[in-house]
Amino acid sequence: MAMKIRLARGGSRKRPHYAIVASDSRMPRDGRFKEKLGTYNPLLPKDSEDRVKMNMDRVRFWLDQGAQPTDRVSRFLEAAGEKEKTERSNPDKAKPGKKARERAEEKATKAAAVDAAVDGAAEAGAAEAASAESDGADSDPGAPEEAVVEPAEEAPATGTEEEAPAEAAGDGEEDAG
């Protein structure tokens, strides 16, 4: 007979309470068991003494008989110092899902595009600054650079501002007379 030390669920809906039992592995989770070894109340704080209670003499007896603890019960035994800590490795659990990986890749490509644009703008600004420095090599390095203002081209004026309304008024009088 393959014996297990495992949890049997009790309590009401959303209010779990577990019994730590020694049971035949072929029996249902909440079914028949050989002996109740303790209790586990997950609703209590982790530092509470009443969260996990075990009769360690009976647990040792069943372990000597060849009973295998489940993962959760072996964690309780490790915390109690009855069992050596085992290294657990589940690298797939830490990996994000397919959609999350796609979103991360999308975000990385956008960030790379933004970085490239910023770097390109910075390089262009540096090139302009370098050309401006080479043009102003004759000037004093401590002196502020003066901006060269070129006058804007203006349309040629046919007349002065005062003449333009008079001409418009004169055109209208000739037609009327």
What pLDDT sits at residue 18? 93
pLDDT at 25: 85
The per-residue pLDDT for range 89-109, each reduced to its tens digit, is 777 777 888 899 999 999 999
Buried b (16+ CB within 10 A) or exposed e, 156-168: eeeeeeeeeeeee
- Predicted pLDDT of residue 162: 54
pLDDT at 68: 92
25 and 51 co-located in one domain:
yes
In a domain, 146, yes or no: no
Does residue 80 share a domain with residue 24?
A: yes
Quote the pTM value. 0.50
Domain check: are 77 and 43 in the same one?
yes
The H-or-E segment that residue 169 falls in is helix 163-176
Task: Name the domain count of the chain.
Answer: 2
What is the three-class DSSP state of 119? Answer: helix
Looking at the structure, tell me whether residues 10 and 47 fall in a common domain.
yes
Q: Could you read off the pLDDT of 62-90 as tens digits, one per residue?
A: 999 999 999 999 999 998 888 888 877 77
Res 52: pLDDT: 93
| Of 137, 136, 130, 134, residue with least CA distance to 148 | 136
Does residue 40 lie in a domain region?
Answer: yes
If asked whether residues 58 and 110 sit together in one domain, one would say: no
Collapsed DSSP state (helix, strand, coil) of residue 141: coil
Alpha helix (H) ranges present in 8-160? 56-64, 71-80, 91-94, 98-135
pLDDT reported for residue 96: 85
CA angle 16, 86, 9 (to 5 degrees): 15
pLDDT for res 26? 87
User: 115 and 82 in one domain?
Assistant: no
Which residues in the chain come in under a pLDDT of 70? Answer: 1, 127, 129-177
